[in-house]
Structure 1
């Protein structure tokens, strides 16, 4: 099913253990690593960026998820320099002989702004929170892969902060036929769930029954989703929407720490990330473990 590409390397993986639950402990461990000062703000084209790629690859592999890396050039906004960075992909194949050709993508960008002067922009919410959720949801889906009818690709995107470069590269160089992708669900900033338990999303009207599905699942999990049929937004899912692929972009709201050195792990609502991650997991299961109709609906 997966096409071979220049710059795409299939990594052999061995199944170790994939746990059934998304835990605060593992989410926190991922975020602590990703926001470490040693990683200097996760800037593309740096040795620290290479370390993150290795970390993501090893985590997917450790849970028996087929893992690939996709290399691409990225032009930096601040000085127009060109660097090399990567998307990190995990793949689970569906079990239905026909529906497995249809693919749902779960994505989050792992890069951030690097350093400015003496300040490190660790990007705990933006987007260590989404990257940690990606790893935990992937592990839980792996533990329940026998339920999947459709296939799933997990993507940790590089260079989002430089202009959605990782997602733009992927849709231009997909590892499956682009027509086979029935939904892209993107997580960008999941760390500030408020007391009202609002989860914000755009794009729910880009596939049949999406608005109703997201509202009903939210109520079931005692969340209060703010669901927009359109309002696709400005993160990596936009690259897919522009290819006429259904999308969902999820976040837990803006705050004063956005793109500031104060966006640190101490500011995050870790239990809130668990709740939001389970909401996203249930969304994926509703779509990947069923034969519900999926088609692109354009929104104004």
Structure 2
């Protein structure tokens, strides 16, 4: 009997350590980043720096190790190319935090936090949008919310996973993947130890009929094995894309021969328009996508994801 009681206490203890994705946390992050006061988080703006400092504070609260070049920050210059502006060269930064589990391999989890500001740096799809705030709730406050919630879960779950985690909030993605390309060319962590890279860009507007797109399935033979261990009935609907390239930051890692998976819920009428607001994000589905990501991440722990497979050479 005493052994049964001891077992019950053990199970209760393990359950108390469990960390779940919280929709309220996701809402908090998106509503902060996509507030009108943030003026669209355009690269080089004081609001973009405010967003970076918000992410930095969260990384500190999760006790992640700073792995930038100035604490959590890795600074670089980004150029506005689509329109002529006086301040075409702008200071930008990646925000980098490391969860060190003393493991031999590391998974990168990334998302970009910049957006297109007040329509003054190009890329707006709205008519007469110059000077209008583009809040970028889905693009990409949703991805940063996912990044921060995964960072919280893995850092606070009282479990020492057999991999390390490198969490990177990329700057200047909207100016041409500038932050992620800067990181892979000036890495603050040896890329030889990267297991694989997961990227989130626009994961807040799930189309339940088509599901979430997971691009990069072909970049490692191991992904097929990992996905075979996923029960689709337990998660949001998804479909996979073979190619590694795509219009977001995973491309920079793919070009360095690192396997990647890119999560994306697709375009919508508010994309790159002033109407991409926080109240339009589907937070319950966002939580579901993150739980799917956790299952894939956890399923990759004991599987050798390398060698990389170049999907350009199908």
Is the TM value for this pair above 0.5? yes
> Does structure 1 conserve the Cα–Cα contact (< 8 Å) formed by 2:227 and 2:296?
yes
> Does structure 2 conserve the Cα–Cα contact (< 8 Å) formed by 1:218 and 1:224?
no
> What is aligned with 1:88?
95
Q: Please say if 1:244 is aligned against 2:257.
A: yes
Unaligned segments of structure 2, at least 5 residues: 1-16, 67-71, 120-129
Q: Displacement, 1:182? A: 2.4
TM-score normalised by length of structure 2: 0.83
Q: Displacement, 1:146? A: 2.9
Note the 1:116-135 alignment, pairs <5 A.
116=119, 117-135=130-148
Note the 1:191-230 alignment, pairs <5 A.
191-196=204-209, 198-214=211-227, 216-217=229-230, 219-230=232-243
> What is aligned with 1:69?
73
Structure with the largest fraction of strand: 1
Over 3 Å counting, the alpha-carbon distance change for 1:60 and 1:197 in structure 2 is: farther
Q: Secondary structure at the match of 2:296?
A: helix
Output the aligned Cα RMSD.
1.8
> What is aligned with 1:9?
none
> What is aligned with 1:7?
none
> What is aligned with 1:298?
310
> Does structure 2 conserve the Cα–Cα contact (< 8 Å) formed by 1:182 and 1:296?
no
CA deviations 1:121-169 (Å, max 9, x no partner) are 0001000000000000110011236331121100000000000000000
TM-score normalised by length of structure 1: 0.87
Q: Displacement, 1:207? A: 1.5
Equivalent position to 2:112, from 90, 109, 123: 109
Equivalent position to 1:79, from 59, 67, 84: 84
Of residues 202-211 and 56-65 in structure 1, the stretch that sits farther from structure 2 once superposed is 202-211
Q: Secondary structure at the match of 1:167?
A: helix
- Matched positions, count: 278
Larger radius of gyration: 2
Q: Secondary structure at the match of 2:257?
A: coil
Q: Secondary structure at the match of 2:230?
A: helix
Unaligned segments of structure 1, at least 5 residues: 1-17
> Does structure 1 conserve the Cα–Cα contact (< 8 Å) formed by 2:236 and 2:285?
no
